[in-house]
Amino acid sequence: MSDVQAYPDSGEAQFGDYVALLKPRVMSLVVFTALVGLLVAPVGVHPVVGFAAILFIALGAGASGALNMWWDADIDAVMKRTQSRPVPAGKVQAGEALGLGLALSGIAVVMLALTANLVAAGLLAFTIFFYAVVYSMWLKRLTPQNIVIGGAAGAFPPMIGWAVATGGVSLESALMFGLIFMWTPPHFWALALFMKEDYHKAGVPMLTVTHGRAETRRQILIYTVLLAPVSVWAALTSIGGPFTLATALVLNAIFLKGAYDIWKRPEAQAEGDKYAVEKRVFKFSLAYLFLHFAAFLVEALLKVYGLGGWA
């Protein structure tokens, strides 16, 4: 009998557990939106520089995810959705998550400064600080508007991608930020409506718990209404064009209809059909963001052939 057989399942953290600390699914959204921010910018970058910059933005986002898992290990252990994360599952020590998060944050910011410029690196550093400290440590457990604040952290990547190419911030990048910022509350609150047990158990002041479910439905509608002009405004700038505008109008019409349906129906009806409308709107909200940013990208491609844009 070899030593290996004597320890069939040692519980040792594997490489994949450390990757899981970086929240790879969130990272995929970061990569996509940062890439769009980079590609729709009026200044081109060398493909190798662009690839490396996106990689370091993703690494920075992953690092903030690890810091969040270190800080929120107690909440994660209570909620069903997050119980299997590496720290509450006992695979990785909380201190290791902290060390990995801090080390990767430093590497990502310094490497982005060397690869692109100081503006992009500064924005990335601020994003990590905002997500880990302002959102996770400070406001998440303090206010039911936590989702709105956390949404700002998720809204930075396209702005950083734009800064990698242009070295600055502009109306277009601010509107891409605004698009994700306004989109996050209705997206997340739709989820909170049908995952109600979890947040309640963890004691996180989710809007559904503190202000009731009817108020949450109203807030979803309010933010969706506020999202529409940001989306249309972005489509009217230099990163937009007729194609983007048409896409934005269709997407917002569907999202507004969904938010209106959520607002209008009483809780008993929602419980009756097991939150079918809320689940549908949540799924659509994911498609909304993906398709909206894809439209910016298509518009940029059309411009190459002289077809897109307003000029």
- The yes or no reply on residue 18 touching other proteins (CB under 8 A) is yes
Question: What is the token pair recorded at 141?
Answer: 């457990």
Of the residues 41, 80, 94, 115, which one makes contact with other proteins according to CB under 8 A: 115
Least distance in Å: CB of 114 to other proteins?
8
Q: Are 53 and 116 in contact (CB under 8 A)?
A: yes
Of the residues 34, 38, 49, 289, which one makes contact with other proteins according to CB under 8 A: 49
- The yes or no reply on residue 4 touching other proteins (CB under 8 A) is yes
Of the residues 1, 25, 48, 268, which one makes contact with other proteins according to CB under 8 A: 48
- For other proteins, which is the closer residue by CB, 14 or 210? 14
For 108, residues 6+ apart whose C-beta sits below 8 A from its C-beta are 56, 57, 59, 60, 63, 124, 128
- The yes or no reply on residue 266 touching other proteins (CB under 8 A) is no
Least distance in Å: CB of 111 to other proteins?
8
Q: Rounded to an integer, what distance in angstroms lies between the CA atom of residue 165 and that of residue 199?
A: 40
Q: Which of residues 55-94 bind other proteins (CB under 8 A)?
A: 55
Task: Find how far residue 43's CA is from the centre of its chain.
Answer: 25
- The yes or no reply on residue 8 touching other proteins (CB under 8 A) is no
- The yes or no reply on residue 26 touching other proteins (CB under 8 A) is no
- The yes or no reply on residue 13 touching other proteins (CB under 8 A) is yes
- The yes or no reply on residue 112 touching other proteins (CB under 8 A) is no
- Of the listed pieces 12-20, 80-88, 141-149, 208-216, which binds other proteins according to CB under 8 A? 12-20
- The yes or no reply on residue 44 touching other proteins (CB under 8 A) is no
Q: Rounded to an integer, what distance in angstroms lies between the CA atom of residue 57 and that of residue 157?
A: 7
Task: Find how far residue 110's CA is from the centre of its chain.
Answer: 23
- Separation in Å, CA 76 to CA 15, 89, 204: 21, 9, 11
- The yes or no reply on residue 7 touching other proteins (CB under 8 A) is yes
Residue in the block written with tokens 């509450």: 88
28 closest CA partner among 65, 72, 67: 65
- For other proteins, which is the closer residue by CB, 43 or 287? 43
For 72, residues 6+ apart whose C-beta sits below 8 A from its C-beta are 82, 136, 140
Residues near other proteins (CB under 8 A) are: 2-4, 6-7, 10, 12-16, 18-19, 46, 48-49, 52, 55, 114-115
